């Protein structure tokens, strides 16, 4: 491509990158002349015909309202305006290049952020192995984690505030939302290590009838837990009510009561998790995406990592 044609093509391409009427190719030409102090060498450096470069500099001077260079044999020198504009236009050009590089990286899934929505009862530690692997592949990737109820996580997905959602619910009422089952899990009793049930070889529903419970009102499984306990003759009249897993585990660890929680909610150092005979309660955790919506490479990779994970081993 000839220098004049190249300059014209670059001018058209850069029309979307303008600052106060200046084209980025004009700024690039200015910086090259300021560095070489020679119009001929600058034209060669920019791979453009010298008349085209000179014309672009004149247009830039017209935008700025004054001369940027003064030709004094044997070299070209910067005017006072040129000296003052040099650091400003250098930063401007660098910022434009950084913006284009970042945009390209985001399009290729190499940068930007993965926006993940988790329902309130999904422990972030469950997906940390996949997050670590994703960060190894995409070193510049950021992570945005949103929390909400199961319904709210799906709303984040539908409105585009999240790329991926994980929740223990099966949404059949949202056309366009696709789901994949990640794992199925049972429920366990959580109690403090000093609790009377902590060292039992087996625990039945009857053993829970005199217990005070810490009840997770924030969970999508709250109704199912209440119904299962009621079938076993266990009432929740003397329960504490919490609205986060963190508060639940802290109260249980402090001996305030016991709780029925999914296996994936890890017991802490001060608590134990044990199966309850006669408690027939399970849940399925799903991965959600929007069918047909373009996904960045990082989001697609993360979904593949989650679907390929050995969840049986992860929950063991």
pLDDT in tens, 236-291: 888 999 999 999 999 999 999 999 999 999 888 899 999 999 999 999 999 999 98
Percent of the chain with pLDDT over 90: 69
3 state SS of 211: coil
CB of 279 within 8 A of CB of 208? no
Contact 296, 109 (CB under 8 A): yes
CB of 189 within 8 A of CB of 274?
Answer: yes
Query: Residue 18: beta bridge partners?
Result: 23
Whole-number mean pLDDT of the chain?
87
**Whether the predicted model's global pTM rises above the 0.75 cut:** no
Tens of pLDDT, residue by residue over 188-219, are: 999 999 999 998 999 999 999 999 999 999 99
d(CA 167, CA 161): 16
- Pick among 3.40.50.10280, 3.10.105.10, 3.40.190.10, 3.30.200.20: CATH of 113-182+284-315: 3.40.190.10
- 113-182+284-315 and 184-282, same CATH topology: yes
Residue 166, classified by CB atoms within 10 Å of its CB into exposed (0-12), middle (13-18) or buried (19+), is buried
Confidence band for 11, pLDDT divided at 50, 70 and 90? very low
* Cα dihedral across residues 23, 27, 32, 38: positive or negative: positive
Q: Which residue has the tokens 């997905």?
A: 157
Taking the C-alpha atoms of residue 254 and residue 212, their distance in angstroms, rounded to an integer, is 13
CATH class belonging to 184-282: alpha beta
| CATH number listed for the domain at residues 3-107 | 1.10.10.10
Q: What are phi and psi of 37, to 5 degrees?
A: 55, 40
The ranges assigned to domains in the chain are 3-107, 113-182+284-315, 184-282
Burial category of 113 from C-beta neighbours within 10 Å (exposed 0-12, middle 13-18, buried 19 and up): middle
Confidence of residue 13 (pLDDT cuts 50, 70, 90): very low
pLDDT at 172 over 80: no
């Amino acid at each position: 491509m000839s220098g004049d044609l190249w300059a014209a093509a670059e001018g058209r391409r850069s029309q979307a990158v303008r600052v106060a009427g200046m084209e980025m190719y004009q700024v690039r030409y200015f910086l090259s002349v300021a560095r070489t102090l020679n119009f001929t060498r600058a034209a060669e450096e920019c791979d453009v015909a010298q008349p085209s470069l000179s014309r672009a500099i004149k247009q830039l001077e017209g935008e700025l309202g004054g001369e940027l260079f003064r030709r004094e044999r044997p070299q070209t020198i910067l005017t006072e305006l040129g000296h003052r504009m040099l650091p400003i236009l250098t930063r401007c050009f660098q910022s434009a290049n950084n913006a284009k590089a970042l945009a390209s990286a985001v399009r290729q899934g190499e940068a930007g952020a993965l926006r993940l929505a988790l329902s309130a009862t999904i422990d972030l530690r469950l997906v940390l192995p996949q997050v670590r692997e994703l960060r190894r592949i995409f070193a510049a990737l950021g992570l945005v984690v949103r929390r909400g109820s199961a319904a709210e996580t799906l709303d984040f997905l539908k409105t585009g505030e999240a790329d991926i959602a994980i929740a223990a619910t099966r949404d059949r009422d949202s056309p366009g939302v696709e789901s994949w089952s990640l794992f199925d899990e049972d429920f366990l009793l959580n109690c403090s290590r000093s609790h009377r049930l902590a060292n039992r070889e087996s625990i039945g529903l009857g053993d829970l009838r005199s217990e005070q419970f810490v009840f997770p009102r924030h969970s999508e499984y709250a109704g199912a837990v209440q119904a299962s306990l009621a079938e076993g003759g266990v009432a929740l009249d003397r329960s504490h009510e919490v609205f986060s897993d963190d508060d639940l585990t802290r109260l249980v660890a402090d001996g305030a009561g016991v709780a029925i929680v999914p296996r994936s909610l890890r017991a802490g150092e001060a608590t134990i998790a044990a199966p309850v005979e006669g408690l027939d309660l399970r849940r399925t955790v799903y991965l959600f995406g929007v069918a047909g919506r373009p996904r960045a490479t990082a989001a697609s990779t993360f979904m593949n990592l989650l679907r390929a994970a050995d969840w049986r081993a992860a929950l063991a």
